[in-house]
Chains A and B, each alone.
Chain A
């Protein structure tokens, strides 16, 4: 017991000091506190009414933030890790800050087991499993096994799973409490896909799966011709999707009824994020009207398509950390933008993934005819990106390589067009944010200030 108290107070002291030194967003307090008491997460969560874990490859930050905001709006005292600090030290840092009734924890899929061994979560939401930093979690099927092992420590938890992702649904096999969410066929569904795919293999008989249609990457409506396994029926299903320039509208059908949702977040992947958060909230008996209101106002957090204004330019900062993220990021931006400067900031540090070959798994064909007037490549792997563009068939007289990040922003600002988009890998995101802010850029959306 003494060890736990010591861990909590030293953790809080470190937290106070690091704030005082203005080093926000650090996981240091949790890291130190876990060194003192390795079981600290268990003690810190034992008094919560509900603990909800959000994990998966893409969309976990947006899903967790939206869910936390919905639950807050319904009157609950919610604790959640807002800054994407999703490894055990980051989760612990969040839990140290102050106690609450409900914890919404975004947890890195690869280190989930360290959390589930201690935290008796009531619900686990899994967004999707896509190719991501494969040099770290080298193959998805191994990741599926790791997640399965992680879930075995919390057999009572309700799983909220993406029905359209066969790798995710394989985690629901032989489990008792499973709810599925997914998309019905809609105007965005495609018969074929040009993206590199995972999840072709039936989780039961290990024969190839077939697809009736795709939504993006390997998410879609699949079935196994050999053994009859198929996409499970979704308890929470989206239909009648309407996309317009500024918003996406859709119906969400669920066992007790139907709600109409409208979001300002672009792209099919955000429909999934809204769906995952809303399904979980409905499962927790939050009133549909509360969900509708929060979804309507919600905007994404740091860098996941954040807009800045600087020197009469609108600059969009977008995180791209894997092939699917880059493919759909480009699709979203290009279909919505006028003439612009594109900047690709590619690093290969630990958090980015050391191997940049993923750039070649992304579908960048849309760039060939996109309305850009200049493409800038920056970062430690600026050259790799330029080669990728060259072989896609981009005209190289409109591509420049400026590895140094400050210099790349100078180059961007020297162009006369009024729009720019910066696609960054993880470690470049904070860096470009800092560079833009230092130069006086104003972010268009203060981070969820209207709701939290």
Chain B
């Protein structure tokens, strides 16, 4: 089996260790004997919607995000085609915002997104920042998905479903207890950490979805997750009483 990963704008969307997610996906596939191909695509590159099983976008600083956003307008139709075809996609923070309908800045300017997700984002004043834990239905109740969020934008969902519900932390906008978004096999979220480092259940869920489209139902060989799950549990417990803050 082969897992073909596309990492979009690695040199621009590279905040908060998000590239660590690629490393986690790669290792967890390799440890099971799955071959991994990683393609980095950036400005001006063509994105073949049929060439990848999993597409990844991280978060970036404002200016870099602006550069990526201009280029994404050209790649938008390919990306949408891939998502409609059932390709797995993970977009974090700035990457998540860029895939929504639009982003409205503090000065009222509206920057169009490419509309993979039925969601929009408005700039806020205070940054929503801290440890966060969410419950993701598909992953059951036993282990939450945890991470660290740090965003100025408030995201609101249209008809789309959230990735999870907030246990503690702010999530999409600090109000409606939703976190992230999902559409088909595409997921957006504000969680850094990097996201997949302390959430091996989510990492395997994404690998499974990505392989399924090509190979049908796959049973992933179990790995020793004791370290990751122990850290997930202790970090989750540590910030439970303070709701993610300090």
A195 to B18, CA, bound (A): 13
Q: In the bound complex, do residue A391 and residue B23 qualify as a contact, i.e. CB atoms below 8 Å apart? A: yes
- The yes or no answer to B246 lying at the interface (CB within 8 A) is yes
Q: When A200-B12, A383-B231, A387-B198 are in contact, do A361 and B17 touch as well, CB less than 8 Å?
A: yes
Q: In the bound complex, do residue A141 and residue B246 qualify as a contact, i.e. CB atoms below 8 Å apart? A: no
List the A side residues contacting B15 at CB < 8 Å: 134, 139
Q: In the bound complex, do residue A357 and residue B20 qualify as a contact, i.e. CB atoms below 8 Å apart? A: yes
- The yes or no answer to A208 lying at the interface (CB within 8 A) is yes
Q: In the bound complex, do residue A386 and residue B130 qualify as a contact, i.e. CB atoms below 8 Å apart? A: no
Q: Which of B57-65, B82-90, B177-185, B213-221 contacts A (4 or more CB under 8 A)?
A: B57-65
- The yes or no answer to A155 lying at the interface (CB within 8 A) is no
Q: In the bound complex, do residue A357 and residue B193 qualify as a contact, i.e. CB atoms below 8 Å apart? A: yes
- The yes or no answer to B228 lying at the interface (CB within 8 A) is yes
Closest to B193 in A: A357
Q: In the bound complex, do residue B14 and residue A139 qualify as a contact, i.e. CB atoms below 8 Å apart? A: no
Contact among B23, B24, B230 for A383, CB-based, below 8 A: B230
- The yes or no answer to A358 lying at the interface (CB within 8 A) is yes
How many whole Å from B4's CB to the nearest CB in chain A? 20
List the B side residues contacting A196 at CB < 8 Å: 14, 19
Contact among A197, A358, A360 for B23, CB-based, below 8 A: A360
A349 to B238, CA, bound (A): 13
What per-residue 1/0 map shows which CB atoms of B225-240 lie under 8 Å from chain A?
0011011001100000
- The yes or no answer to A339 lying at the interface (CB within 8 A) is no
A384 to B27, CA, bound (A): 16
A392 to B197, CA, bound (A): 12
Residues 117-171 of B at the A interface (beta carbon under 8 Å): 127, 129-131, 148, 150, 152
Q: When A200-B64, A355-B150 are in contact, do A360 and B198 touch as well, CB less than 8 Å?
A: no
Q: In the bound complex, do residue A387 and residue B228 qualify as a contact, i.e. CB atoms below 8 Å apart? A: yes
Q: In the bound complex, do residue B198 and residue A384 qualify as a contact, i.e. CB atoms below 8 Å apart? A: yes
Q: What class of interface size applies to chain B in its complex with A?
A: 35 or more
- The yes or no answer to A17 lying at the interface (CB within 8 A) is no
How many whole Å from B10's CB to the nearest CB in chain A? 9
How many whole Å from A359's CB to the nearest CB in chain B? 7
How many whole Å from A143's CB to the nearest CB in chain B? 10
How many whole Å from A208's CB to the nearest CB in chain B? 6
How many whole Å from B238's CB to the nearest CB in chain A? 8
Q: In the bound complex, do residue A354 and residue B16 qualify as a contact, i.e. CB atoms below 8 Å apart? A: no
A358 to B246, CA, bound (A): 19
Residues 91-112 of B at the A interface (beta carbon under 8 Å): none
How many whole Å from B30's CB to the nearest CB in chain A? 9
How many whole Å from A147's CB to the nearest CB in chain B? 15
**Chain B binding surface SS class:** mixed
Residues 336-359 of A at the B interface (beta carbon under 8 Å): 349-350, 354-359
A134 to B230, CA, bound (A): 26
Contact among B23, B67, B127, B198 for A201, CB-based, below 8 A: B67
Contact among B61, B127, B148 for A198, CB-based, below 8 A: B61
Q: When A357-B192, A386-B227 are in contact, do A201 and B20 touch as well, CB less than 8 Å?
A: no
What per-residue 1/0 map shows which CB atoms of A179-200 lie under 8 Å from chain B?
0000000000000000011101
- The yes or no answer to A114 lying at the interface (CB within 8 A) is no
How many whole Å from A351's CB to the nearest CB in chain B? 12
How many whole Å from A22's CB to the nearest CB in chain B? 29
List the A side residues contacting B131 at CB < 8 Å: 354
A201 to B64, CA, bound (A): 7
A426 to B152, CA, bound (A): 26
Q: In the bound complex, do residue B27 and residue A393 qualify as a contact, i.e. CB atoms below 8 Å apart? A: yes
Contact among A138, A197, A206, A357 for B17, CB-based, below 8 A: A357
How many whole Å from B95's CB to the nearest CB in chain A? 15
A422 to B84, CA, bound (A): 50
How many whole Å from A69's CB to the nearest CB in chain B? 36
List the B side residues contacting A142 at CB < 8 Å: 62
List the A side residues contacting B198 at CB < 8 Å: 384, 387
Contact among B12, B27, B193 for A391, CB-based, below 8 A: B27
Q: When A355-B192, A358-B16 are in contact, do A139 and B197 touch as well, CB less than 8 Å?
A: no
Residues 167-213 of B at the A interface (beta carbon under 8 Å): 192-194, 197-198
Q: In the bound complex, do residue A357 and residue B61 qualify as a contact, i.e. CB atoms below 8 Å apart? A: no
List the A side residues contacting B235 at CB < 8 Å: 383-384
Closest to A197 in B: B11
Q: In the bound complex, do residue A361 and residue B129 qualify as a contact, i.e. CB atoms below 8 Å apart? A: no
List the B side residues contacting A390 at CB < 8 Å: 227
18 contacting pairs across A/B (C-beta < 8 A)? A134-B15, A134-B150, A138-B152, A198-B61, A208-B43, A354-B131, A357-B16, A357-B18, A357-B148, A360-B19, A383-B230, A383-B235, A384-B198, A387-B228, A388-B20, A388-B197, A391-B20, A391-B23
Binding site for A on B (CB under 8 A): 11-12, 14-20, 23-24, 27, 43, 61-64, 66-67, 127, 129-131, 148, 150, 152, 192-194, 197-198, 227-228, 230-231, 234-235, 246
In addition to A142-B62, A386-B231, 15 A-B residue pairs with Cβ atoms within 8 Å of each other are A135-B150, A197-B11, A198-B61, A200-B11, A200-B64, A201-B63, A354-B246, A355-B148, A358-B16, A360-B17, A387-B228, A387-B231, A388-B20, A388-B197, A391-B23
**Which 4 interchain pairs have the tightest Cβ spacing?**
A360-B20, A360-B17, A357-B17, A383-B231
Binding site for B on A (CB under 8 A): 134-135, 138-142, 196-198, 200-201, 206-208, 349-350, 354-361, 383-384, 386-388, 390-393, 396, 401
